[in-house]
A = this chain, B = another copy of it.
Amino acid sequence: MSIVADAPWCRGTPLCEACEVRMLAVCRGIDPGELPQLAALATCRRVESGRMLFDEGDAATEVYTMTSGVVRLSKLLPDGRRQIVGFMLPGDFLGMAFGGTYAFAAEAVTAVVACRFARPAFLRLLDEHPGLEKEILARTSTELAIAQAQMLLLGRKTARERLASFLLGFARRSSIAAGGEVELPMGRTDIADHLGLTIETVSRTFSDLRRTGLITLPSTHAFVIRREAELTRLADG
């Protein structure tokens, strides 16, 4: 991550190589011969840990493809209560707001590099490349299915079931190191705000899952799944 994030050619235009690789994932369906022209429309953006890519309610002027790092998408109530509606990982696509304004804030959990398109140019691209539009529709549908699963979690699962579901889902999306260790870049507060719990309950539930042998915790920012079948049974009720 840090190699890409620190690369000097990522600080501005034009598109860096790592971004170009990520962009291909989104843009499959486009004639490969047109990719250079496509790359010319995009720029690299590096965002420091904790900084905001855009805020809820901002005019939606840009869309992104994640190259490296982790982004949290969150919605706030006026009194400060927060719900994290998702975490974006490398390869994910982000910012496709219909209605003109973003429906959530996007903040960098770690240092982030993302491939940025101006929205009008991207929308024109959609018109010209039906394959690209189909890809975006498929991704949006997948996001919707994930959101519905999260509704089941938030509405009906216990704290243990929520954390088990989250850890399994995050492990599946992450690259897993030797020994089955999964890096957990976000803090307990972010996990709590994603699972509809408090940090104390998240912390207690981590300890609980460790005590009962379902996971181990090499550090506060990593975990290892020990009994996957049992954890899965817990997660799915």
The interface of chain A, by Cβ under 8 A from chain B, is: 73, 75, 77-79, 81-83, 85, 96-99, 103-104, 126-127, 130, 133-134, 136-138, 140-145, 147-152, 154-157, 193, 195-196, 236-237
Contact = CB atoms under 8 A, between A and B. Distances in A.
Given A77-B157, A83-B151, A103-B148, 15 more contacts: A75-B148, A75-B151, A78-B236, A78-B237, A85-B148, A85-B151, A133-B137, A140-B141, A144-B147, A147-B148, A147-B151, A151-B154, A155-B193, A155-B195, A156-B196
Nearest to A192: B155
11 contacts: A75-B151, A77-B156, A77-B157, A83-B156, A97-B141, A98-B138, A127-B130, A130-B133, A137-B137, A140-B144, A147-B151
Task: Tell me which of A134, A140, A143 has the highest count of chain B C-beta atoms within 10 A of its own C-beta.
Answer: A140
Nearest to A161: B77
Contact of A154 (B133, B141, B155): B155
Contacts of A195: 155
Given A134-B133, A148-B147, A156 B237 contact: no
Copies held by the complex: 2
Contact of A137 (B136, B142, B155): B136
A149 to B, nearest CB: 7
Nearest to A197: B155
Contact of A98 (B85, B98, B141, B157): B141
Contacts of A156: 77, 81-83, 196
Nearest to A148: B85
Contacts of A77: 152, 156-157, 236-237
A154 B96 contact: no
A143 B144 contact: yes
A85 to B, nearest CB: 4
Task: Tell me which of A73, A104, A156, A237 has the highest count of chain B C-beta atoms within 10 A of its own C-beta.
Answer: A156
Task: Give 5 nearest A-B pairs by CB, closest first.
Answer: A155-B196, A77-B237, A154-B154, A147-B147, A83-B152
A104 to B, nearest CB: 6
A200 to B, nearest CB: 16
A27 to B, nearest CB: 16
A57 to B, nearest CB: 13
